[in-house]
Each structure stands twice: as structure tokens, then as C-alpha cells.
A = this chain, B = another copy of it.
Amino acid sequence: MHAGRCKNLPMPTPPRPLPQRPPTLRDVAEIAQVSIKTVSNVVNDYPYVKQATRDRVLAAIAQVGYRPQAAAQQLRTGASGLITLALPSLTFTYYSDIAQAFIDEAQRRGRTVVLHTTSAGPEAERTVLQGFERVLGDGVIFNPLQLWEEELARMERTSQPTVFIGEHLPEQLPRGCDYVKIDNEGASFEATSLLLDQGRRRLAFLGAIPSAHGVQPHSSGTLRRDGFLRALAAHGLDPSAATIQEVGDWHRQDGADGAEALLERLPEVDGIVCGNDDLAIGVLSRLRRHGRRVPEDVAVIGYDDTPDAPFTSPPLTTVSPDKQALATTVLDLLIERIGGYDGPPRTVMTPYDLVVRESTALLPA
């Protein structure tokens, strides 16, 4: 609360408190008695530097603790080494798993991941598409959930190199991007067939999301449901009579709520194919509460093979996408685009496995 200001006192070099700028090439150069450029050459392993000079420079670097400033490098070279990963939310185990896979794989390639989450909704996703408020990273890995297909289809080209992951993107993608997906429909078909082959006939799919405003959120739900229906048809059942249980979202709690509703609609259900593992975990908790035995009375299948799956009660049969392969493929494509490749959009399918655990054990009968 010191109101008065000393207007005329000439402050001799106001001692800048903390923001003591980190050492620069200039500082190193001064100590090593060489030009700035030579220091730069040493840092960048330019071969034509005498060993003696190199040693002197390296010593100076160590002495002042020099580290290159990413901002200046980026300004000069146009590349930041940053990759933006835009996911719905880390509170879904599936996404935190793939986030880790991407971080590891990026670190392995000398790149750093900037994480952005879009659980806020379509507004947040649109921000991602438009390239954020500031030009920051070299490219984006983007898993949209709520994005209107038409919106994406309208774009002529993405604002920066982009690789989409997830589901339900339009056939016709803008220029400047690629798309890596997982065969949801096929995986769901395979999972459902497993139950049908066991003789179970009163199956339900849990995980459809009612579409609001024409938005199709979690459209992986749609694909997985389609695979479910196709499997029914392939086994001679009538898909139009199938039980499709809607849920509010894809968290554990939604699975629990959905299970309550389902048990009311179809008390004799003997197999539930869930949209993901989190839903399945909620389902298991409610089946237990209602005294249904798994797998004796009801079989349950999840999707994602989250780290939880082997430890649920009983351990959960689930579709396991190859997250490592996903990360590798995506980064290959993205870095190629960052490097200047500008061919037409490419679509790549990555593999999955059906991991069979006790929640779908064969009936002793």
C-alpha cells in the first residue's frame, strides 16, 4: 500500500528479481572465446569443428548450464518438436492408456506431447480442428467424439498435419490428414459370435447413446452395435427383435444404470455385450447386486482391455485393441506429414484381439 511514486529518481538498473534469463549461446561463446555460430555448431554436432575447440565449448556449456531455447529454435526452423494429443478425457481408462502409449512412443522419437482434453464438448473439438488459438505444435493427434461429420467434410484441408483416431469419421477427409482406426464392427461381431456359439440366445447390447441434435457421440457405439446385430443375423436370429440398451454416457456409473434398466426390460438376459470395459464394470456390479451369477446366468463382454479387465469379478472377456501398434502407426503417419509429405488422406486399420476370460466361461452344461 505504498501509494507515492518517486518520479524523478533514476533507478540504476532495476534488479530484475527472478526471471533471470537462462544462459544463451552468446554467454557460452564469450567464455569459450569463439563465435556464437561455433557454439551452435558444436551443439548441433557439425563435423567441422576442431577437437580442441569442441572441448573448450563443451566445457563452457557445462559451466553455465546452457540448454537450447526451444522457442528460438522453433522460430528459426519452423519446427517445435511438439505434438498435440487431443483426447476426450483421461478419466476413461482407455484414453489414459493410449495417452501413455503416445507419450512413450513420442519420447522415443525425441518429441514431446502436449495434452489437450475435449470433454468440454463440441466447442472444444472445434477449437482443435481450427488449430487452437496459437500456433504451437507441429501436428495433432485427434480423437473426436462429438464432431459433426459434415463439419469435417466441409473442410478443405486441416489447419496443420493431423492424424485422426477413433470412429465414425467421414469417408471423404480433408487434405493434410490421415486416419487410423480399429475394426470395431468386426471385433464386435466376433465377440457376439463367441456368446452365440455357446448357445446363449437372449443377448443384449448395452452402450447405444441416444443422439441429440443430430450429433452422433461415441459413434464407436454405433459400429459396435452394428457388429452385434450382424452376428445375430449370421446366427439366424432376427436383428430387429434384438435388445439394445441405451446409456447416458460410457462411464462405469452409466453401465450400472443401464444394467438396472436392462434387467427390468429383459429379465431373462443371458449375455450382455458392452460398449466398453467401464460400462461392463458397472454392469457386473449390478448383476451381482441382483444375484445374477456371471458367467453361469449371464455372460458379459467388454471392449478396450483396460488394466481393470483381468481383475474384475469375474475377470472380464474383452476386445483388446493393440495400443502399441496404434501409437506407432499414428506417429509414423504424422511425422511423415510433418516432414512435408502432402499426399491424399490415408486410412489405416490396426489390429485387435479377443481376450477370453471368465466372464464368458463355457457353461458346465
A340: chain B residues within 8 A (beta carbon): 17-19
**Contact of A311 with B281 in the complex, beta carbons under 8 Å:** yes
Work out how many copies of this chain go into the complex: 2
**Cross-interface CB contact of A19 among B78, B103, B117, cutoff 8 Å:** B78
- For A323-359 the 0/1 string (1 means CB < 8 A from B) is 0000000000000010011100000000000000000
A18–B90 CB distance below 8 A: no
Q: Is there contact, CB below 8 Å, between A115 and B135?
A: no
The answer to whether A68 touches B115, judged by C-beta atoms less than 8 angstroms apart, is no
Given contacts A112-B136, A113-B115, is CB(A308)–CB(B281) below 8 Å? yes
Contact partner, A134, options B19, B68, B282, Cβ 8 Å: B68
Shortest CB distance A313–B (Å)? 4
Q: Does A310 have its Cβ within 8 Å of any Cβ on chain B?
A: yes
Select the stretch in A5-13, A91-99, A233-241 that faces chain B. Answer: A91-99
A251 at the interface (CB under 8 A from B): yes
Is A75 within 8 A of B67, CB to CB?
Answer: no
Knowing A90-B90, A281-B308 are in contact, say whether A117-B103 is a contact too (CB < 8 A): yes
> Can you give 25 contacting A-B residue pairs, CB < 8 Å?
A17-B340, A18-B337, A18-B340, A18-B342, A19-B78, A19-B340, A22-B135, A67-B132, A67-B135, A69-B75, A69-B134, A73-B134, A75-B75, A90-B96, A103-B115, A114-B114, A114-B115, A252-B307, A253-B310, A256-B311, A281-B311, A284-B311, A285-B311, A288-B313, A313-B313
